[in-house]
Amino acid sequence: MSPTTPISAPPPPSSLSVFREGIFDGKVLFCTGGGSGICKEMTAAVLTHGANAAIVGRNVERNIKSAEELSKRTGRTVIALQADVREPKQVQEAVRKTIEKFGRIDFVICGAAGNFLAPIGGLSENAFKTVLSIDTLGTYNTLKATLPYVRESKGSYIHVSATLHYRGTPLQAHVSAAKAGVDALSNVIAVEEGPRGVRSNVLAPGAIKGTEGMERLSARDDQGRRIDSAQHIPLQRMGETQDIGNTTIFLFSDAANYITGQVFVVDGGSMHTGVLGHGYPESVLNPKPRL
């Protein structure tokens, strides 16, 4: 083969070809944002290895459909609970119902998030506050409500973050600030709760194909067409939800029982290539066609 031909990484393997089927038997997952996208597939991955789950979100119809589908797909029990993570009482009530149903919580995915592309000039105070309230305050509310049970089970947290705040990413001031807060919360929980046997890590996905986030947030050219960005990814393929699912299983498994307070970037290495999405500086000087 010519040394100038890029090689794509193989597709992600099924988790069952890598991890044993029953490693999460008897465990319970509480996942905010689990009704759709990446968090739904993270939930599916954990269910596949034996856990049951509560998926929590604002859109109750979508959550019920997702719970039925996940249950059918994996043969596990999945309950759909309605809560807006911005509302502490609603999150507490979802936790109460989870304990009522399953009696325990071992794993928590703080995944509920809001995002849209907007330059800071187009971000109202309420827009900025809304994303911080969902991502950062929502993570705090979820931590507070679940912690007593996660302490009891000596369980583990995964916070779904992003890579965009490791440098300045245009059109993402709100999400960058919000996710930086999420990463910081995870680190503090790791340090404060480690002596009680609780672990906390961050999973930061890159561009994952087939997700709502990708559909709405991926880079576009001047004509508004989506740009296939795989050439800028060192591993030469887009991420798949299974890549995130496999990392989730690893982080919740005993194989990771000495890992806490870390950020796991799952992006095929693209964070290092320094390519800004959405075209730069065009996306800043004239954002309209790209939003």
- Catalytic residue from among 179, 200, 218, 270: 179
Active site (annotated) includes residue 253? no
Residue 30 is given by DSSP the state: E
Residue 160 contacts ligand COA per CB under 6 A? no
The residue at minimum Cβ distance from ligand COA is 114
190, 234, 277 from 271: Cα distances, Å? 24, 9, 11
Measure the CA–CA gap between 266 and 281, rounded to whole angstroms: 26
Identify which of residues 74 and 139 has a Cβ nearer to ligand COA in the complex: 139
Active site (annotated) includes residue 161? yes
Contact 146, 185 (CB under 8 A): no
- Catalytic residue from among 156, 161, 200, 283: 161
DSSP E strands: which ranges in 241-286?
Answer: 263-266
Q: What does 214-283 look like in DSSP terms, one character per residue?
A: HHHHS-B-TTSPBP--GGGSTTSS-B-HHHHHHHHHHHHSGGGTT--S-EEEESTTGGGT-PPTT-TTHH
Identify which of residues 119 and 197 has a Cβ nearer to ligand COA in the complex: 119
Identify which of residues 15 and 32 has a Cβ nearer to ligand COA in the complex: 32
Give the shortest CB-123-to-ligand COA separation in angstroms.
6
Residue 130 contacts ligand COA per CB under 6 A? yes
Residue 111 contacts ligand COA per CB under 6 A? no
- CA-CA-CA-CA torsion sign (94, 96, 102, 103): positive
Residue 34 contacts ligand COA per CB under 6 A? no
Residue 122 contacts ligand COA per CB under 6 A? yes
Measure the CA–CA gap between 39 and 43, rounded to whole angstroms: 6
Residue 288 contacts ligand COA per CB under 6 A? no
Give the shortest CB-172-to-ligand COA separation in angstroms.
11
Q: Which residues bind ligand COA (CB under 6 A)?
A: 113-116, 118, 122-124, 126-127, 130-131, 212-213
Catalytic residues: 161, 179
